[in-house]
Chains A and B, each alone.
Chain A
Amino acid sequence: MAAGVATWLPFARAAAVGWLPLAKKSMPKPPGDKKSRHDEILLINVSGNRFQTWKNTLDRYPDTLLGSSEKEFFFNEETQEYFFDRDPEMFRHILNFYRTGKLHYPRHECIQAFDEELAFYGIIPEIIGDCCMEEYRDRKKENQERLEEDTEAEMATETPLPPDSTLRERLWRAFENPHTSTMALVFYYVTGFFIAVSVTANVVETVPCRAPKGMVKDLPCGEKFSLAFFCLDTACVMIFTFEYLMRFFAAPSRGKFMRSVMSVIDVVAIMPYYIGLVMPENEDVSGAFVTLRVFRVFRIFKFSRHSQGLRILGYTLKSCASELGFLLFSLTMAIIIFATVMFYAEKGTKETNFTSIPASFWYTIVTMTTLGYGDMVPSSIAGKIFGSICSLSGVLVIALPVPVIVSNFSRIYHQNQRADKRRAQLKIRLARIRLAKSGTTNAFLQYKEHGGLQDHGSGNQALCIRNRSAFEHQHNHLLHCLEKTTNHEFTDEHTFSELCMDESMGYRTSRSTSISSQQGQSTSCCSRRAKRRAIRLANSTVSVSRASVQELDTLHLQKNTVIPQSRSSLNARTQDLKLNCTDFTAAIISIPTPPANTPDESLPPSPAIPGILRNSR
């Protein structure tokens, strides 16, 4: 129920005294006071800003955090207030919602931050009042589109191929992203060249060339050098057919590929040639043959694979379909009206051009678009008057939907530019993430070096270790537990590659083999391992980078879980078993200590990217 209604309830109940005389049966007993009606003021402390409100206000919406018993989790006994470690600016809006029943969206806030706050307080966004709803939805849609674009672009271009991809996958990747391999790039430019050649040939073959000897009039070049043009056409079509078949073979989903626009354009580009080959050269079908030649010009659309701008234009037109439809509709209406009027106005004139209404359509269109060829001109006075009205209204009707289309184009174009910028920045981001990850490992190794794994209080620990936060200590302890479980230790890459080489060298028992072959073997072993490691790192980097879009926080996590140690403890000798069991229980017990509110908690253990991890939508 809305906020205001609750205050009127006592009034409505009091007014019910009017029913008493009319009631057929006796009235039920009023509900008993289960708890005291005495209303109290609650203190809510949001990051230092104190808010006060009646308990009743909050109880109006029992399915939100503040209205339900969930807020008891945040009650601070000592100060007798509810403490929330959230944004106080946003809280103002949340509290206003309880007070007025309407949720407003602050325009200057980031839409994601606002959504997160709503999710935290358990308020569904649909409650946003009408005054702010449109803005909210627009910005949310924009944000979603942006995120989708980014993830798509990321997945499409940046992820390296898994090493065991089939020929099909590699081929498809080469077609979609020509800059991934030189072969693909070469193919890309070759097809582009041939498209240009084909279109030029189509154009040039209609230009009149000097007539050969023995003929009077000029022939178009197409007929003079018909064999040459035919060969050129054949070559182009061969290449296009080959390209189409390769794409068809490599496409992961053939049905989807066949329905895509580019594929249809490809087919339309090459079909006329084959149909022309098949058709016989008789009179009946030569008309259709001429028509087919027109379709050859659609080869120019194949350029849209090569040009980003063309694709943007096409996408704009598609997204402005409704505006274009409206434009068309209004134009059609106006054309019909004015054509009819002009026809009847000019009907009386002798030798008029306005022979029928469809004939007047031409005049109307030419006038409304302010072309004014002058091949059809009204002569009667009525015709001239209506003609001028027609041209004035034409300007208006066309000018109206155009700005909408222009703004759409501008939005899409900027989105595209932003995508390019984002892609460029992503590389830097990935590099930083990789650095951060190696930083974590190094932090752990440094920790080990400086005696961090020994007991606290023993003098062996370096000062830098003792000063690290409790969180870091526990994290490093966790990694140490994992080492003990698997009986392997973490190392850095340099030591690892050295070790790898040593081990493989050690495996050679016979000394007779030459050193070079040994080294050759070991380097191949290491390079294989290194490659696997690089791929694994790349994979985990990608997963991290995908998450980094939603920003990760290593600190505010309490979901530490335990690695069961009993297996490792059992595998050791009985002597060690006792020791390991103590470690086990000590390990479990000491891990989930909540981070004390020390200031150095804000520093991550490594130069990791700080941020907040949020539940993905």
Chain B
Amino acid sequence: MNLEGLEMIAVLVVLGLFVKVLEQFGLFEPIGVEDSTEDDFELSTVCYRPEGLDKLQEQTKFTKKELQVLYRGFKNECPSGVVNEETFKLIYSQFFPQGDSSTYAHFLFEAFDTDKNGSISFEDFAMGLSIILRGTINDRLNWAFNLYDLNKDGCITKEEMMAIMKSIYDMMGKCTSPCMQDDAHREHVESFFQKMDRNNDGVVTIEEFIESCQKVCLLVENGLNQTCFKTFDLT
């Protein structure tokens, strides 16, 4: 049979339909078919349960009632029990609508996520807050240092400080008075380093940091204990 062009095409079409029919019969499946019904429920609904109330009470400096209040709010926002970075950034941006708070939120997230697993559980949250609210001055300064030290190597370099400063200035947005210059954060960093860096080696270590801060904050340590009780004044 001498197949001319159109006949050949017609035969090809019929063969194609035949293949489709065989598919229906289940004889063979074409390559690359995705079964979309299986992956509906990926276990992203990972439920994370915190340790018991008593254990948390030991680890943090909060009372039972305070922990309860904290947990209720936390659970309301994140029913699955953990916060991931994107949610955190979204939440944080609610407080600073004028500017861009995503970089700073990222740094904060890194500071809170102590076990570095990409999500903040209630324990991380409670312990972080405990340090900030109930810790000694030393603890708080340590925490702040940990926040600034982006690569957690024990010293703050100028670049890290620049990054942090820029992220904070970004949160202000553009509508400020006086007008926000592009390099406003640079001067800030320079003066910070002048004050902090005792031995002028270009980095600020934890000792230098604490030392410089201690001197001025020692005065208020006594005032701290009295004001602490105002925190969780529950009705």
Contacts and interface: CB of A to CB of B under 8 A. Distances in A.
Contact of B176 (A69, A329, A491, A613): A491
Given A288-B5, A441-B97, A613-B90, A578 B175 contact: no
Contacts of B108: 561
A327 B84 CA distance: 48
A11 interface: no
B17 interface: yes
A485 interface: yes
Contacts of B202: none
Contact of B223 (A328, A332, A585): A585
Contacts of B81: 122
B15 interface: no
A157 interface: no
Contacts, number: 255
A496 B174 contact: yes
A125 B97 contact: no
A581 B5 contact: no
A616 B86 contact: yes
Interface stretch (A14-22, A405-413, A592-600): A592-600
B81 to A, nearest CB: 8
Contact of A564 (B144, B175, B180, B212): B144
Nearest to A563: B168
Contact of B90 (A325, A552, A569, A593): A552
B159 interface: no
A419 B174 CA distance: 35
A38 to B, nearest CB: 22
A245 interface: no
A329 B97 contact: no
Contacts of B227: 585-586, 589
B79 A116 contact: yes
B162 interface: no
Contacts of A461: none
Contacts of B133: 588-589, 592
Interface stretch (A262-270, A381-389, A536-544): A536-544
Contacts of A577: 216
B129 interface: yes
B173 to A, nearest CB: 7
B200 interface: no
Kindly state the interface size class of chain B when it binds its partner. Answer: 35 or more
Contact of B195 (A503, A539, A540, A570): A570
A390 to B, nearest CB: 19
B174 A529 contact: yes
A291 B133 CA distance: 82
A405 B159 CA distance: 62
Contact of A592 (B43, B49, B96, B129): B129
A496 B177 contact: yes
Interface string A141-156: 1001000000000000
A401 B67 CA distance: 60
Contacts of B188: 486, 567, 571
B132 interface: yes
A64 to B, nearest CB: 8
A368 B223 CA distance: 95
A140 B97 contact: no
Contacts of A63: 47, 49
Contact of A328 (B20, B74, B191): B20
B217 interface: yes
A615 B40 contact: no
A563 B101 CA distance: 12
A499 B175 CA distance: 10
Contacts of A554: 94-95
Interface string B77-120: 11111111011101111111111100000001000100000000
A153 to B, nearest CB: 20
A73 B67 contact: yes
Most buried by B among A475, A486, A556, A613: A486
A448 to B, nearest CB: 12
Contact of B217 (A116, A287, A581): A581
B24 A328 contact: yes
Contacts of B191: 571
Most buried by B among A437, A558, A561: A561
Contacts of B92: 561
A355 interface: no
Nearest to B102: A543
Interface in B61-80: 65, 67-80
A85 interface: yes
B234 interface: yes
A61 B94 CA distance: 37
B173 A536 contact: yes
B78 A495 contact: no
A503 B230 contact: no
Most buried by B among A120, A140, A326, A615: A615
A566 B213 contact: yes
Nearest to A540: B100
Contacts of B141: 566
A562 B139 CA distance: 14
Nearest to A286: B5
Q: Top 10 nearest A-B pairs by Cβ distance?
A: A291-B5, A558-B73, A120-B79, A119-B79, A488-B176, A325-B24, A533-B174, A564-B144, A496-B175, A73-B71
24 contacts: A72-B53, A290-B5, A294-B6, A322-B24, A325-B21, A485-B168, A486-B169, A488-B178, A491-B175, A491-B176, A529-B174, A533-B174, A536-B99, A536-B173, A536-B174, A547-B90, A557-B77, A559-B88, A564-B144, A566-B213, A570-B196, A585-B224, A592-B129, A615-B78
Given A441-B98, A557-B91, A588-B132, 11 more contacts: A73-B75, A119-B80, A291-B6, A488-B176, A490-B172, A533-B175, A536-B99, A559-B125, A578-B216, A613-B90, A614-B79
